[in-house]
Structure 1
Amino acid sequence: MAYNRYGLHYGFTLVLLVLHPVFGDVSYSIPEEMKRGSVIGNIAKDLGLDLGRLSARKARIDTEDNNVQYCGLNLNTGDLIVQERIDREGLCARKASCVLKQELVLENPLELHRISIRVQDINDNSPQFKEDSLKIEIQESADKGARFLLDEAHDGDIGENTVQGYSLQQNDHFKLNVNIKDGGRKSCELVLDKELDREDKKEIMLLLTAFDGGSPQRSGTVVIHVTVLDANDNVPVFFLCIYPCGNLCLLRLSPWC
């Protein structure tokens, strides 16, 4: 009885193999966001298929990973074409490799050809900060060299197309220090380069720019609003006030006259 079960299982597997023959794979590499109708490659030529028999064999493209039909087949030319927008970030987020899997299906007899489409990142996202402005309060007594951590900018792209650096608008009091974190991410600090004086300037507006390494290069900005807080750095001053009184003058010390 055990032998019969094994024989039945083996026969069922054999039937599946007959019904689903899989032939050679083919691979392509394309940039994301290609226009609809763009040609990825001539799959009929690449697989050595009879162009004149594509219609008769009901050739079509099926998807393995997704319900979206990203690719189509031109039966007259044998071209594999873009049918729907291919957004790398939507498909693979920030993964280093992004591969879209499709299948070419032919009938009479049934053939399956696996298609791997490697989707390359393009610089279609700009660096962005969480907020349009950052608010920082700093005591006017802060020492030169004091550091203030700033929020990072984020970019939906990967590799050279993501954030590569920061720059700070030229000013009299601050400079920028950029740090490289694990994974190559970059963060920055505001460094006090010249002491503050609230009596001279109560507020300072700075422009911080994040830029990527793509071509063309993209950037994003945030306004840094620095409020200088008062410190008790002024000694009270008394004035000698003179008040005329008839033929006499009265003298009195007072904070004001």
Structure 2
Amino acid sequence: MGHCRFSLHCYGLAFLFLALHPINGDVSYSIPEEMKRGSVIGNIAKDLGLDLGRLSARKARIDTEDNSVQYSGVNLNTGELIVQERIDREGLCAKKASCVLKQELVLENPLELHRISIRVQDMNDNSPQFKEDSLKIEIQESAVKGARFLLGEAHDGDIGENSVQGYSLQQNDNFKLNVNTKAGGRKYCELVLDKELDREDKQEIMLLLTAFDGGSPQRSGTVVIHVTVLDANDNVPVFRESPDCCLMEQLPSPALIFLLITQMLTAQELYAALTIMTHT
């Protein structure tokens, strides 16, 4: 019996709540983000079958469910739901696939509520960006063809086709680009050595890497890759000239011998040679 009284009490509270907050139905709209203030979302009075002439008398207004930013308002003269504040999808929903703004139309005398769902569509209003303005890579000139060097990825505030879809590398003699896709669909790239490096020929290489999205119009972002070629011990010492010395069968004078041997003897060897010449 006590349980029954409790249940009736609960139903009574629920009925009282509904009586104070009648909800007569929902209405949904779909709009692109970044619409200008004053833009019309839809005619809410017509869509809900409300008496346009009584909107003002019933103090029609738009409330947000969490009392946050008032993104939309109602024009009491026309019954239109209009954009009141800038709607930035990325700021509102970040990377969520679905972005729905929930609000309520409130009418008084009698009190009446209507839920409003505004689905915010992503627009291609962000360009791909790299974390740094330039990437610095050091590569040994002894690196073999096919060696890979991770470049990372660009980031885009948009989602879906409006996010990063690919990369391209400036045409060059030594490198090509390899693009990979992570489990979540994000794309990153690697620099692949296509032709061996020679530091004696070129010590530094500058490349331009471009990331692009799939939006219309398409947006892109770039980063400069600065490749420094490190020296490897791949050359043997060589003389610039090979001194040739010929000894004639009959030498004309000790002075000529001195001149000849100074071209190829060390100081110690020269001293020994002069000592021998002096004693002969």
C-alpha separation in 1, matches of 2:220 and 2:211: 5
Identity %: 83
Query: 2:6 & 2:163 partners in 1: Cα distance?
Result: 57
8 Å Cα contact 1:131/1:222 also seen in 2: yes
Deviation at 1:12, TM superposition (A): 2.0
Which of structure 1's runs of 4+ aligned residues deviate more than 4 A? none
Across the aligned residues of Structure 1 and Structure 2, the Cα RMSD in angstroms comes to 1.7
1:163/1:212 contact within 8 Å kept: yes
Hey, what does 1:25 align to over in structure 2? Answer: 26
Q: Work out the number of aligned pairs and report it.
A: 253
Cα drift, residue 66 of structure 1? 4.7
Tell me: CA distance 1:253–1:44, structure 2 relative to 1, closer, same or farther (3 Å). Answer: farther
Counterpart amino acid of 1:206?
L
Q: Which residue of 2 aligns with 1:247?
A: 256
> Is the partner of 1:125 in helix, strand or coil?
coil
Q: CA deviation at 1:82?
A: 0.4
Between Structure 1 and Structure 2, which shows a larger proportion of strand residues?
1
* SS class of match (2:90): helix
Aligned residue identity for 1:68: V
| CA deviation after TM superposition for structure 1 residue 253, in Å | 7.7
Aligned residue number for residue 72 of structure 1: 73
Larger Rg: 2
Rounded to whole Å, the distance in 2 between the matches of 1:112 and 1:237 is: 93
Q: Which residue of 2 aligns with 1:195?
A: 196
2: CA distance between counterparts of 1:142 and 1:52?
A: 80
Name the CA distance, whole Å, in 2 between partners of 1:154 and 1:114: 35
Structure 1 residues 6-45: aligned runs within 5 Å: 6-45=7-46
User: TM-score if structure 2 supplies the norm length?
Assistant: 0.86
Richer in helix (by share) = 2
- Within 2, Cα distance between the matches of 1:107 and 1:87? 31
TM-score by length of 1: 0.94
Contact 1:240 1:252 survives alignment (8 Å): no
Q: How does 1:7-156 map to 2 (within 5 A)?
A: 7-156=8-157
Query: What secondary structure is seen at the aligned counterpart in 1 of 2:47?
Result: helix
Point out where structure 2 has 5 or more consecutive residues left out of the alignment.
246-253, 267-280
